[in-house]
Amino acid sequence: MAESTFDVVVIGGGPGGYVCAIRAAQLGFKVACVEKRGTLGGTCLNVGCIPSKALLAASEKFEEAAHGLAKFGIKVGGVELDLPGMQAHKDKVVKDNVTGIEFLFKKNKIAWLKGAGKITAANTVEVEGVGAITASKAIVIATGSDVTPLPGIAIDEKRVVSSTGALSLPEVPKHLVVIGGGVIGLELGSVWGRLGAKVTVVEYLDRVLPTMDNELSKQAQRIFAKQGMDFKLSTKVTGASVTGTGVSLTVEPAAGGAAQTIEADTVLVAIGRRPYTEGLGLEAVGVELERGRVKIDGHFQTNVPGIYAIGDVVEGPMLAHKAEEEGVALAEQLAGQKSHVNHDLVPGVVYTWPEVAAVGKTEEQLKAAGVAYKAGKFPFTANGRARAGGNTDGFVKILSDAATDQVLGVHMIGPNVSEMIGELVLAMEFSASAEDVARTCHAHPTLSEAVKEAALAVDGRPLHI
């Protein structure tokens, strides 16, 4: 190997790690990124955000072609699913994205060290098959997360799959049971439901998307139920046995009660993800963990000077954009800049149809904190553009401080809200009031007029309801 000393050595080439590497290189550091997967991009590009969105997009088109065009006066016959073709689309999207990161590494002169990295001292990383690498300025742990297993239910990625297996099923299951009504369960449940599977979601708590605003998760559940998803809430899975043709699941009420058996062709375990630090050597160098996550201070530094951590492996939502923001902020801090991440304003999006998007506080959080707030809500049924596109399910809800009118939270379900949430994140970054949003001119006819109307509704003066 030509080089063995770098300024910054990043372990993990996911959105946290690769973005940190690029920004550090832009700032003049000599950077290496250690990645043991055969490709760059981490969970997100290889088995997460990108392949799931490729399948969501493709399955949306299939569903629309098969069932959704008649209302527009378009007759389509003989719509057929070509699952290998759809998987090929997904694989190509992944390949184009991961090779894109390789290109960016070359452009920024970042060394990709291919192998597993283990920290052997505060400034040394031993890379499998490569050797000892010295980091003169910083080691950045960006090793991400992995699937949380469900005790007693072994994932074989055939009949019982994690999200990774669910992205590559060789055929559409007749009955897919999803354990966990969170983001993965609803997104991948939607994919296979659209392609023809009966989908049953078994959720331990009494609502899906339990961390989101209650009204939002209730509305999401109603809409997905209307689409054909079956929900077993407040239900726990107590056992699973793989049979010749599928899986026999035993479930019972979370509070206890009579057991029931559900027969499935495929079971998707999606009960969350956990930080991944296996084989990193953290114990030996004394890096402290807190509930499994690498413990950091306000500047991403662990308890060992010179060793930093970002992304899914540290506290906060396990989201790619959160990891990226942390990667940039850390690189800039290493260069002496005063960069920071506003962890209060990390948007969360569920890419189902309709989409779900939120930022800031939920009504439940505001109530629990004793904050007096006003709420303004506007339904997409009253939005002309939504009607034109035949997408009237959902609403925009804006919560603002009762005294100052500052926007404290925004919760949306509806068409393209994944794109619309950005406007509100920006507004909140600038401490906007609901009145500021209400007085901002929004183009007509656009879905984003629902945002303006919800802001007007905060003050009881919506124009179109």
> Which of the residues are catalytic?
444
Peptide bond into 170 cis (omega under 30): no
Among 117, 128, 137, 162, CA closest to 11: 117
Q: Residue 53 Cβ, how far from ligand FAD at the closest point, in Å?
A: 6
Residues 312-341 that bind ligand FAD (CB under 6 A): 312, 318-321, 323
Binding residue (CB under 6 A) for ligand NAI from 63, 187, 355, 453:
187
User: Which of 41, 182, 189, 462 lies at the binding interface for ligand NAI (CB under 6 A)?
Assistant: 182
Residue whose structure tokens are 């991009």? 41
Binds ligand FAD (CB under 6 A): choice among 7, 35, 265, 405: 35
The sign of the dihedral angle between the CA atoms of 332, 338, 339, 340 is positive
**Could you tell me the two tokens for 218?**
């209730």
In DSSP terms, 247 is beta-bridged to 242, 264
Whether residue 424 contacts residue 437, with contact meaning beta carbons closer than 8 Å, is answered with: yes
CB 279 within 8 A of CB 118: yes
Provide φ and ψ at 460, rounded to 5°: 70, 25
Which residue stretch of 7-15, 78-86, 128-136, 349-357 sits at the interface with ligand NAI (rule: CB under 6 A)? Answer: 349-357
Longest CA span, the chain: 68
Asked if residue 362 binds ligand FAD (CB under 6 A), the reply is no
Binds ligand NAI (CB under 6 A): choice among 101, 138, 318, 455? 318
Helices 15-26 and 320-334 sit at what angle, rounded to 10 degrees?
30
Residue 150 as a binder of ligand NAI (CB under 6 A): the answer is: yes
| 186 near ligand FAD, rule: CB under 6 A | no
Binding residues for NAD(+): 180-187, 203, 272
Which lies closer to ligand FAD via its Cβ, residue 42 or residue 415? 42
| Closest separation in Å from C-beta 237 to ligand NAI | 6
How far apart, in whole angstroms, are the C-alpha atoms of residue 233 and residue 206?
Answer: 5
Tokens of 383: 């939005």
**Which residues of the chain form contacts with ligand FAD (CB under 6 A)?**
11-17, 34-37, 42-44, 48-49, 52, 116-117, 142-145, 163, 184, 276, 279-280, 311-312, 318-321, 323, 351
**Which residues of the chain form contacts with ligand NAI (CB under 6 A)?**
150, 179-185, 187, 202-205, 210, 236-237, 270-273, 317-319, 349-351
